[in-house]
Structure 1
Amino acid sequence: MLRAGLLLGLSSLAFAGHAQEADSTVASETRPYLSVLYSYTFENSDRVGVEEGQGAQLGVGKALSEHWGFELNGFYSEFPHDNTPGANAQREYGGKLDGLYFFSRNPKFSPYFGAGVGGVTTELRGTSLDTTDPFADVGLGFIKYFTLAGADLGFRADLRYRHIWFDDNALGGTNVGDLGEAVLKVGLVVPLGSRAVAAAAPTPPAACMDSDGDGICDTADLCPGTPSGTVVDAKGCPKATAEGANRKFDDVHFEFDKSELAEGEKSKLDKAATTIDGMSKTYPNLKVDVSGHTDWIGTDGYNQGLSERRANTVKSYLSRKGVDAGRINTFAYGESKPIATNETAEGRAQNRRAEIQTHE
């Protein structure tokens, strides 16, 4: 009956995790946190003479990536005797290291799979008998974040199957050997640190008339009507030097773990392709360097490949828009060259980019 209930609970949590995974419209919750949980250990006949256990677990956790995290936990539980003649109550305490895989970091509902290893000391109350044994556990859980009186908190539930390599002889009983039991924990999560605040959008500069589109206002342009894509100096006149071939275009940004172009980024490349086509007439040996970059979430090897795919996506798009593919060189830098902090969602969004530069 116990095992059936455990499997039902785990299956329900897994289904809930799958159902919530698709909601990616809310910023991920990846701050370090404290976890304070009440624990309930279901009654098990292998624990001779005692009933179900109740106690607490205190831990700290940290996200390693968008999906992975770890925790260090300490716990304590009491197991009252069940009125069996000669039975003594038990208590246990110990610590463990948990690895967590989050199906989603959505603060509205963050389901996860957890597995842990640790050690537990079990004492027989009223005697000097005790035993310290290794254990492992596995199960599912979720965290649902909310705000109370201006403070960020999370409700957490966690259901595990725990296996203890238990030396019952040390407590004066028969040699049970292994002990398997279900442990349910519920309580609060307290995120540490402040939520990232989105940077205010910069105030756009006052618009000016620029009839030839060379970036110089008509009122200051001494060479009006320059062809599209011509590199000009501060006076709006053509600058036909090697230095004039050096130009950096607006960065092209990508969604998390994507190498496809968002619709809003294509307009940047349309403008860049037109400009590069014009520059190539002034600079016949013009070269175009496209470099791909990522944020720090993921392994070095995966991010290296992702940055290469992003660079190739930009190259292909420019080529389709008329830029000679023979002029374009691609480079992949993975997560090695951030331009903003990777500690915030806004910074990571800036780092997920491709850069375009021209030179002779």
Structure 2
Amino acid sequence: MKTSSLAAALVLGLTGTAAFAQATHSGWYVAPTASVVINDNDRAKSTGAGVGLAVGKMLNEKWNVEVGGQYLQLDGKNDEQGNIGVDGLYFFNRNPDFAPYALAGLAYAREGYSDSNKNDNLMARVGLGFTKQLTRNVDFRADARYQYHGNKAGSGSLGDWIVSAGLNIAFGGTPQAAAPAYVAPAYVAPVYVAPAPAPAPVAVMPAPAPEPAPYVAPKREPKQDRN
């Protein structure tokens, strides 16, 4: 019985945690970010900078999806890139203090030194990041992404690291806490109680028959002399 009670309490505790996480992280949000770019070795400069904006939606306790774009100045002067794409974010947990995630996505990228030298490429990206709740509707976010794409204007493909920080700002109303999941009471199997054994029969010995009275011969009268 104690084990069943402990299991029920554990389920209720986990359910409460999930409901709280959904209440603080669910719904639509907009995510402005600022970035530092660690450029591919083939670029003219080792670092650059950029800004980004995405719109995201929490799908369930584990997944978010984001659609957004970036504008990157890769050499601080002429080499620039714009991209727009979609990313899936997998959250390892929804702890408001620290919610780590992994991401993967695809994007369309346009890059070049001038309007006459721009080229279009498909981009793939993967990364790791985290969020931390600041207020009921605002989270801080940071992530590092490796973005890899073709290079029609040159030889070989290019891969850049994008380190970003920004905010997730919820909109569309304050999220409501999810109702706690119903937890059925633990089933306790009835315990069979055997009936008390019938008392053992007690042998009752019959009372002994009384001993017969000793035989007493009748007293004989003396014979009378008839003479």
Q: Same fold (TM over 0.5)?
A: yes
Task: Name the TM-score class by shorter chain.
Answer: 0.5 to 0.7
- What amino acid is the match of 2:20? A
| 1:33 pairs with one of 29, 48, 61 | 29
Provide the rounded CA distance (Å) in 2 between the counterparts of 1:35 and 1:60: 6
The equivalent residue for 1:161 is 146
Are residues 1:111 and 2:100 paired? yes
Instruction: Look up the SS of the partner of 1:166 in the other structure.
Output: coil
Q: Report the alpha carbon displacement of residue 198 of structure 1 after superposing the two structures with TM.
A: 8.2
RMSD: 2.5
The equivalent residue for 2:169 is 190
TM-score, reference length from structure 1: 0.44
Tell me: higher relative CO, structure 1 or 2? Use CA pairs within 8 A at least 6 residues apart.
2
Aligned length: 171
| 2:127 pairs with one of 135, 139, 150 | 139
Provide the rounded CA distance (Å) in 2 between the counterparts of 1:100 and 1:156: 12
Match runs of 1:215-294 below 5 Å: 253-254=182-183, 265-266=185-186
Segments of 5+ residues of structure 1 without an aligned counterpart are 1-22, 82-87, 170-174, 200-251, 255-260, 267-316, 323-360
Instruction: Look up the SS of the partner of 1:50 in the other structure.
Output: coil
Are residues 1:64 and 2:59 paired? yes
- Is residue 39–residue 159 contact of structure 2 (8 Å, CA) maintained in 1? no
Q: Report the alpha carbon displacement of residue 123 of structure 1 after superposing the two structures with TM.
A: 2.2
- What amino acid is the match of 1:161? Y
Provide the rounded CA distance (Å) in 1 between the counterparts of 2:17 and 2:80: 43
> Over alpha carbons, which structure has the higher Rg?
2
Question: Once the two structures are aligned, what percentage of the paired residues are identical?
Answer: 32
Match runs of 1:325-340 below 5 Å: none
Instruction: Look up the SS of the partner of 1:128 in the other structure.
Output: helix
- What amino acid is the match of 1:42? I
Provide the rounded CA distance (Å) in 2 between the counterparts of 1:165 and 1:110: 33
| 1:75 pairs with one of 64, 70, 73 | 70
The equivalent residue for 2:110 is 121
Name the structure where strand makes up a greater proportion of residues.
2
- Is residue 137–residue 161 contact of structure 1 (8 Å, CA) maintained in 2? yes
